[in-house]
A and B are shown apart, each in its own frame.
Chain A
Amino acid sequence: MMYDWLYNLTGSEILAMFIVSLLPLFVFILPFALAAVLAERKVSAHMQDRLGPMRTGYHGILQTIADIIKLLQKEDLVPHATDKALFNFAPLLVFMGSYAAFAAIPFSGFFIGSKIDLGIIFIVGVTGLVVAGILMAGWASNNKYSLLGAMRAAAQIISYEIPTLLIILTVIMLTGTLSLYDLSEMQTAYFWNWLILGGPAVGLQKILLIPLMILGFLIIYTSTLAEVNRTPFDIPEAESELVSGYHTEYSGMKFAMFFLAEYANMFAVSAIVSVIFFGGYQSPFGYLGNTLGWTWLVPIEQFFWFTAKGLFGVFVQMWLRWTLPRFRVDQLMAFCWKYLIPFSFVILLLVGLITLM
């Protein structure tokens, strides 16, 4: 494991812990956010038959860096009538919530921030901080649009946590583990061991599980999409209705924190979905490192597969964003309570029956 390795290398627990906790941020989240913001703009542009940013660097690849530099230079505006303490703390809380989720995400067999047994429940719980942060931002901004956006966000995220958790519960019932590391290790070897294809089950059980798992995957993908406030579930920041929702009053780096948190969250939820249904960091067809006897190559390969799956999930999120129009608030609630939750209950029940076989 990374921590043990760093502990042996540096001989200091604190230093090792510090490096392990900062690694995902600087090695992964920041470059990912930079790339994802650009990718979002390019994907949206090409889907609308445009070109997107083209001026900074080759085909605009330096656009995000230029934007970050611009945001850093901006004045840190705090409107007069805001609740200063909460206003300043909210972006940090939102980012903390989405960053804390990365602690339990297994990037590879070698690197997992914390190998806790309650991994998936920890992630679901700690991302609740995001709701608190968003509500805090909306309230402290003292702006009607911000408050409306924040209230919508709270209602939406809390509603959509139910189908998410029901599907997670289904998977837990099937596998008997809450640890994301164990969950990934369980789906090793080949892609037919992935839980979307029934996991390690065999025979009739597997055949019965496949349609349920595919449906479960669709439900959890939709509900996590709603949890990260992406279109078509972006009513908390609906530009055409609420200016930009809970971050209307934010500017400069505080706004960038919200942005970073949103993109970190996007990756976190696709990573969770990929760990639950697509084998996490496991390769779909064995490892080159094992074949050649180079054991050091395996974690790198695992990291590659993990990022590839996560990034594909993010791409599909963008793809959906530029395909679907925004839900109305009542449609959003109806979709969750009248369709997703009953379906996930049925899946829970059927999978429970199948596991009894």
Chain B
Amino acid sequence: MRDYIYNFWQGLYTILVGMKVTFRHLFIPAVTIQYPSVKPQMPERERNRLYVNMDDCIGCDQCARACPVNCIEIETVKSIPGEDLGTTSNGKKKALWVTTFNIDFAKCCYCQLCVFPCPTECIYMTDTYEFSEFQRENLVYDFVTLTPEERIQKKKNFEEMQAKKEAEKIAAAKKADEDKAAQANKPAETKSDNKEENKQ
């Protein structure tokens, strides 16, 4: 009988204790935030979407080689003599046109390994984390600042230069042959000519 009354009292009393707790919480400010309109402060060394500052990129391909999942794809074209590509912010002279710089964020594992090898610190993590897409292809980001026509142009320029060089080479070889034919009686000189050509 004593237990019975005690149970009844205990039940009543603990309900009141619980009600006190919930009532106190009624006036505690909410710990949640209104997410899309209010965003939480991200930690300083967060790892989210990558960004590549193409002004500083020298096309060295180190990030692509560091990537454990091969999500970075880089193609470069040599500049032709006389073209000025400018310098990076830390003073390095750029020598390559970067015609492809794709990062596939569907593959990216956000490990930040690509960030450390970069000699010009042009690839880095941003605080953007809302970039979901309906199509997987849309997650392939193209960072190259050149227009598609320009990229083709650069390649063409390089090929033309290459072709020109080739043509020069052939012309030089022909000339050398002609010289050889003309000066067949002076073999020593031709040898030295060939050497010079190889050096070039």
Closest beta carbon of chain A to B31's beta carbon, Å: 5
Question: A54 contacts the other chain (Cβ, under 8 Å)?
Answer: yes
Contact of B32 among A50, A324, A343 (CB under 8 A): A50
Whether B25 and A47, one on each chain, are in contact in the complex, defined by CB atoms closer than 8 angstroms, is: yes
Name the A residues within 8 Å of B182 (CB-CB).
Answer: none
Contact of A47 among B11, B12, B22 (CB under 8 A): B22
Given the known interface contacts A54-B34, A339-B8, A343-B8, the answer about A322 and B22 at a Cβ–Cβ threshold of 8 Å is: yes
Whether B28 and A49, one on each chain, are in contact in the complex, defined by CB atoms closer than 8 angstroms, is: yes
Question: B26 contacts the other chain (Cβ, under 8 Å)?
Answer: yes
Name the B residues within 8 Å of A43 (CB-CB).
Answer: 26
Question: A319 contacts the other chain (Cβ, under 8 Å)?
Answer: yes
Determine the distance from Cα of A278 to Cα of B27 in the docked complex, in whole angstroms.
Answer: 27
Determine the distance from Cα of A218 to Cα of B12 in the docked complex, in whole angstroms.
Answer: 9
Q: Annotate A15-51 by CB proximity to B: 1 below 8 A, 0 otherwise.
A: 0000000000000000000000000000101111111
Determine the distance from Cα of A166 to Cα of B80 in the docked complex, in whole angstroms.
Answer: 101
Interface size on B, residues (CB 8 A): 19
Name the B residues within 8 Å of A322 (CB-CB).
Answer: 22
Closest beta carbon of chain B to A61's beta carbon, Å: 16
Q: Annotate A43-72 by CB proximity to B: 1 below 8 A, 0 otherwise.
A: 101111111001000000000000000000
Whether B23 and A319, one on each chain, are in contact in the complex, defined by CB atoms closer than 8 angstroms, is: yes
Question: A323 contacts the other chain (Cβ, under 8 Å)?
Answer: yes
Question: B21 contacts the other chain (Cβ, under 8 Å)?
Answer: yes
Whether B31 and A49, one on each chain, are in contact in the complex, defined by CB atoms closer than 8 angstroms, is: yes
Question: A329 contacts the other chain (Cβ, under 8 Å)?
Answer: no
Name the A residues within 8 Å of B29 (CB-CB).
Answer: 49
Whether B12 and A51, one on each chain, are in contact in the complex, defined by CB atoms closer than 8 angstroms, is: no
Name the B residues within 8 Å of A323 (CB-CB).
Answer: 15, 18-19, 21-22
Closest beta carbon of chain A to B151's beta carbon, Å: 45
Contact of A319 among B22, B27, B31 (CB under 8 A): B22
Whether A324 and B15, one on each chain, are in contact in the complex, defined by CB atoms closer than 8 angstroms, is: yes
Minimum CB distance partner of B28 in chain A: A49
Question: A320 contacts the other chain (Cβ, under 8 Å)?
Answer: yes
Determine the distance from Cα of A47 to Cα of B29 in the docked complex, in whole angstroms.
Answer: 10
Question: B188 contacts the other chain (Cβ, under 8 Å)?
Answer: no
Give chain A's interface residue range (CB within 8 Å of chain B). Answer: 10 to 19
Minimum CB distance partner of B21 in chain A: A323
Question: B30 contacts the other chain (Cβ, under 8 Å)?
Answer: yes
Name the B residues within 8 Å of A320 (CB-CB).
Answer: 15, 19
Name the A residues within 8 Å of B8 (CB-CB).
Answer: 339, 343
Interface centre among B22, B25, B29 (most CB of A within 10 A): B22
Q: Annotate A314-345 by CB proximity to B: 1 below 8 A, 0 otherwise.
A: 00000110111000000000000001000100
Minimum CB distance partner of B18 in chain A: A323
Name the A residues within 8 Å of B18 (CB-CB).
Answer: 323-324
Minimum CB distance partner of B8 in chain A: A339
Contact of A49 among B12, B19, B32, B34 (CB under 8 A): B32
Determine the distance from Cα of A339 to Cα of B4 in the docked complex, in whole angstroms.
Answer: 9
Whether A49 and B22, one on each chain, are in contact in the complex, defined by CB atoms closer than 8 angstroms, is: no
Minimum CB distance partner of A335 in chain B: B11
Name the A residues within 8 Å of B30 (CB-CB).
Answer: 45-46, 49-51
Determine the distance from Cα of A202 to Cα of B87 in the docked complex, in whole angstroms.
Answer: 100
Q: Annotate B14-56 by CB proximity to A: 1 below 8 A, 0 otherwise.
A: 0100110111011111111010000000000000000000000
A residues 246-301 touching B (CB-CB < 8 Å): none
Interface centre among B7, B12, B28, B30 (most CB of A within 10 A): B30
Q: Annotate B93-133 by CB proximity to A: 1 below 8 A, 0 otherwise.
A: 00000000000000000000000000000000000000000
Question: A-contacting residues of B (Cβ < 8 Å)?
Answer: 7-8, 11-12, 15, 18-19, 21-23, 25-32, 34
* Chain A to chain B contacts (Cβ below 8 Å), 26 pairs: A43-B26, A46-B25, A46-B27, A47-B23, A47-B25, A47-B26, A48-B25, A49-B25, A49-B28, A49-B29, A49-B32, A50-B30, A50-B31, A51-B32, A51-B34, A319-B19, A320-B15, A323-B15, A323-B18, A323-B19, A323-B21, A323-B22, A324-B15, A339-B7, A339-B8, A339-B11
